[in-house]
Amino acid sequence: MEEGERALVRLPASGAGLTPADVVGRATRLALGAVGLALTALEVLLERSGPAGPGARAGAAGAATPPGPPGTLRLLPAAALGLGLEAQRRSLDAAAALGARLPQPLRVLARPAVAAARTPLLAAWRRVDLDRWAARGLADQRRNRQLAADTARALVGAIAAVVLEQVDVDAVVTKVDLNRIVERIDLNAIAARIDFDAVVARVDMAGLTEQVMDEVDLGEIIRESSGTMAAETVDALRVQGMRVDRLLSRVVDRVLQRKDERDTAGP
Partner 1 sequence: MSVTRPVRNPDAKVLQGHRAGFVSRIVADAVDFGVVWAIGLSALLFAGVVRYLLTGPPFRIPVLPSWLSTVAFLSIAVVYLAAGWAATGRTLGKQVAGLRLLDHAGRLLPLGRALLRAAMYVAFPAGLLWILVSRRNASVQDLLVRSAVIYDWSYRPVDESPPSGEARSPSPPPGSDRP
Q: Which residues bind partner 1 (CB under 8 A)?
A: 227, 230-231, 234-235, 237-239, 241-246, 248-249, 252, 256, 258, 260-267
| Cα–Cα nearest to 34, from 77, 94, 93, 83 | 77
- Residues 81, 36: contact at Cβ < 8 Å? yes
Q: Which is nearer to partner 1, 126 or 223 (CB)?
A: 223
Helix, strand, coil in percent for the chain, rounding step 5: 85, 0, 15
Amino acid symbol at 245: D
Residues with Cβ < 8 Å from 92, sequence gap 6 or more?
21, 121, 124, 125, 128
- Residues 77, 39: contact at Cβ < 8 Å? yes
Q: Which is nearer to partner 1, 217 or 224 (CB)?
A: 224
Q: Which is nearer to partner 1, 160 or 252 (CB)?
A: 252
Residues with Cβ < 8 Å from 23, sequence gap 6 or more?
15
Distance CA 209, CA 142 (A): 61
Q: Which is nearer to partner 1, 86 or 224 (CB)?
A: 224
- Residues 87, 54: contact at Cβ < 8 Å? no
Q: Which is nearer to partner 1, 153 or 258 (CB)?
A: 258
Q: How far is CA 130 from the centre of its chain?
A: 38
Cβ of residue 241: shortest distance to partner 1, in angstroms?
4
Q: Which is nearer to partner 1, 1 or 255 (CB)?
A: 255
